[in-house]
């Protein structure tokens, strides 16, 4: 089963963590330099929830942000 929210469509995205080193120009240095760029993925907080859809109980996968909104009826 895919790691996608059924309400908002939130899914994993790719990004990175940039490591900088040095003293900033504002603090009197020659500026920050990029030392390392680590690629990573950001995964959504997907939870399995039982909700009522058209009078029937269904188990769907929702992200934590959509669960907090409460735009559905829990079973």
Task: Report residue 1's pLDDT band, with 50, 70 and 90 as the boundaries.
Answer: low
- 41-68: pLDDT as tens digits: 999 999 999 999 999 999 999 999 999 9
**Could you tell me the residue ranges of all domains in the chain?**
13-69
| pLDDT for position 4 | 97
pTM tops 0.75: no
Mean pLDDT over 6-15 rounds to 95
Phi–psi pair at 45, nearest 5 degrees: -85, 85
Q: ∠44-52-56 over CA atoms, to 5°?
A: 125
What is the per-residue pLDDT for 2? 84
Q: What is the mean pLDDT of the chain?
A: 95
């Amino acid at each position: 089963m895919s790691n996608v929210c059924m309400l908002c469509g939130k899914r994993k995205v790719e990004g990175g963590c940039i490591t900088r080193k040095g003293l900033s120009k504002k603090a009197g240095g020659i500026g920050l330099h990029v030392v390392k760029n680590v690629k990573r993925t950001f995964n959504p907080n997907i939870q399995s929830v039982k909700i009522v859809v058209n009078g029937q109980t269904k188990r769907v996968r929702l992200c934590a942000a959509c669960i907090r909104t409460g735009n559905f009826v829990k079973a």
